[in-house]
Amino acid sequence: MNIDKIVLVYPKRDGLIFGRAHGSPYTLMRLASLVPPEIPVEIWDEDLHPIDFNRVTPHTVMGITSKTLSIDRAKQIASDAKKRGATVVVGGTHVTLAPDDVAPWADAIVVGEAYRTWPQIIHDVANDNLQPAYVDEEWAPLAGVAPLTDRVIKMVNEKKHYWTPYLEITRGCPRNCTFCTAIRVSGKIMRHRPIDEVVDEIARRGIKRFFLTDDNFGLNFRTDPNYIAQLFDALKKLPLNGWTAQAEMMVGEFPELLEMARHAHLDKFFIGFESVNAGNIRELGGKTKGSQEKYKQIINEIHRHGIGVVGLFVFGFDHDTPQVFEDTWKFVRESELDGVSVTILTPYPGTPQRDQWIAENRLMPDTPWSLYDTSHVTYYPKLMTVDQLREGYDWMCRRLYNPASILARGARAMRRVPLAKERTKFFSTFSTDFGYRKTYSFRDQPVPEYGQML
């Protein structure tokens, strides 16, 4: 087939916040960079603009990225594009976790990573030889893989259209917490991008602040401190305003690296404490033991190095009773956290948690995938009723994300910021909690029908 253009689609959910979308379409930027220069490529982010199906032709290849909560929208987009004769390829998290769910309605599915399969797909389409499925779960080294091209950087114009640029430095997590998809989406082996490639990408994108896509950047403090030290040395020299990484709490045990992190402009860790209930340790992959005193010590230690901490908590584990909400709220009030994310445990396909609950017949029947957004209850909890979990979660969110609470936490966090940096840190100090407030707002909305999404 003669390809007239390749379009890469990010299905809508979040829309715009003050005229810009939440975060840059980093996955699609990396994939677009693999498209040979002679083929036109475009990124259609449905959070920015409605899809113009009039521009879809029988010579269009459409690649759609998928999360579980947006897979129904992806299916509708695929159906409309196929009516216009396009070839539709679907990749990403949901396909990787549940390929059989997508295979019936896509021309091709892409399971696992696509750094090698995506160029092959483009080649196969051009030669009328598209296969129904492409799988890459080898977790190959990241060196030299899909550097962002200048064509893509210019086309996306992150500064104009997006609040948060994303960046990948490492990939993978060996922990295998029962509820998490990381091991299947990013692999069990922790892999690193070469530092010079990371530095080059930041410089060419001209970004001053970013959020790492790495599932567990912090684990590298223990497993590969030399890489981390070299990375921090390199980032220290860049004119950055700040950056954020996901980590587990043991980063607090590495004071020298924390000090280097601060000089490398890292200003916020998202830390998965997951639960204040020590009964849940089996589910947490050995990374935390539910000890609140230990959590507080770690938060203090990280603060001591001038780095903020956003605490992530999940509700609805099998040892949780309604008491978990009070306990978490008390912990949040006492702990000086700079931001808080609370989610309802969600049995995503491909996780040990889902397998267990299927075996125990505890998944709610007929739950649409769009409710797999971590703020809806999709299963029958063990030690509370569905209503208790739902109402406890609402109670918690109302306390955490009311403007007064957000301002109080933000003001406390600002007190730790040196005067000279207050202007550049102001936005990031408050934006995390306000972002979670917006995410929680989906809780009250009815499930949209396909046609209502735009």
In three-state secondary structure terms, 319 is coil
| Smallest separation, CB 159 to ligand B12 (Å) | 15
177 binds ligand SF4 (CB under 6 A): yes
Number of residues that bind ligand B12 (CB under 6 A): 41
For residues 26 and 213, the answer to whether their CB atoms sit within 8 Å is yes
Q: Within positions 123 to 142, which residues make up the interface with ligand SF4, using CB under 6 A?
A: none
Q: How near is the Cβ of 47 to ligand B12 at its closest, in Å?
A: 8
Site for ligand B12 in 113-132 (CB under 6 A): 113-115, 118
**What residues are paired with 191 via a beta bridge?**
171
Shortest reach from residue 389's CB to ligand SF4, in Å:
20
Residue selected from 373, 409, 428, 432 as contacting ligand B12 according to rule CB under 6 A:
373
Angle between helices 323-335 and 386-400 (to 10 degrees): 20
Closer Cβ to ligand B12, 94 or 305, answer by number: 94
Using the rule CB under 6 A, is 176 a contact of ligand SF4? yes
Tokens found for residue 192: 């690193």
**Which of the residues 215 through 274 are near ligand B12 (CB under 6 A)?**
215
Choosing from 113, 158, 215, 433, the residue that interacts with ligand SF4 (CB under 6 A) is 215
Residues 71-90 that bind ligand B12 (CB under 6 A): 89
- The DSSP element (H or E) to which 77 belongs, if any, is helix 71-83
The nearest distance, CB 42 to ligand SF4, in angstroms, is 32
CB closer to ligand SF4, 11 vs 290: 290
Q: What is the Cα–Cα distance from 382 to 113, expressed in whole angstroms?
A: 35
Strand boundaries in 115-180, DSSP class E: 133-136, 162-164, 166-167, 170-171
In angstroms, the CA 163 to CA 427 distance is: 10
Residue 10 neighbours by CB under 8 Å, 6+ apart: 25, 27, 28, 43, 44, 45, 46, 47, 65
Residue nearest to ligand B12 (CB): 91
Instruction: Give the one entry of ligand B12, ligand SF4, none that residue 272 binds, where binding means its C-beta sits below a cut-off of 5 to 8 angstroms depending on kind.
Output: ligand SF4
| Assigned token pair, 294 | 């230990």
Amino acid in position 425: K
Closest by Cα among 376, 386, 387 to 444:
376
Q: Map residue 295 onto helix, strand or coil.
A: helix
By CB under 6 A, name the one of 34, 180, 261, 310 that touches ligand SF4.
180
Of the candidate residues 3, 6, 7, 26, the single one contacting ligand B12 (CB under 6 A): 26
Q: Does the protein bind ligand SF4 through residue 218 (CB under 6 A)?
A: no
How much helix, strand and coil, in percent to the nearest 5, is found in the chain?
A: 45, 20, 35
Give one DSSP letter per residue of 84-110, joined into a string.
Answer: TT-EEEEEEHHHHH-HHHHGGGSSEEE
Q: Give the bridge partners for 255, in sequence order.
A: none
Q: Which is nearer to ligand B12, 41 or 97 (CB)?
A: 97
Q: Does 388 bind ligand SF4 (CB under 6 A)?
A: no
Q: Which is nearer to ligand B12, 209 or 305 (CB)?
A: 209
Residues numbered 264 to 293 that lie near ligand SF4 (CB under 6 A) are 272, 285, 287
59 binds ligand SF4 (CB under 6 A): no
d(CA 421, CA 237): 17
From candidates 60, 87, 93, 277, binder to ligand B12 by CB under 6 A: 93
The Cβ-side half-sphere exposure at 451, using a 13 Å CA radius, reads 0
Distance in Å, CB of 104 to ligand B12, minimum: 17
* Buried/exposed code over 236-246 (b: 16+ C-beta within 10 A; e: otherwise): eeeebbbbbbb
Binding mask 175-194 for ligand B12 (x = CB under 6 A): -----xxx--xx--------
Q: Which does 173 bind (CB under 5 to 8 A by kind): ligand SF4, ligand B12, none?
A: ligand SF4
Given the rule CB under 6 A, which residues bind ligand B12?
13-14, 22-23, 25-27, 30-31, 63-65, 67-70, 89, 91-94, 97, 110, 113-115, 118, 166, 168, 180-182, 185-186, 213, 215, 343, 348, 373-374, 439
Residues at the interface with ligand SF4 (CB under 6 A): 173, 175-177, 180, 182-183, 215-216, 248, 272, 285, 287
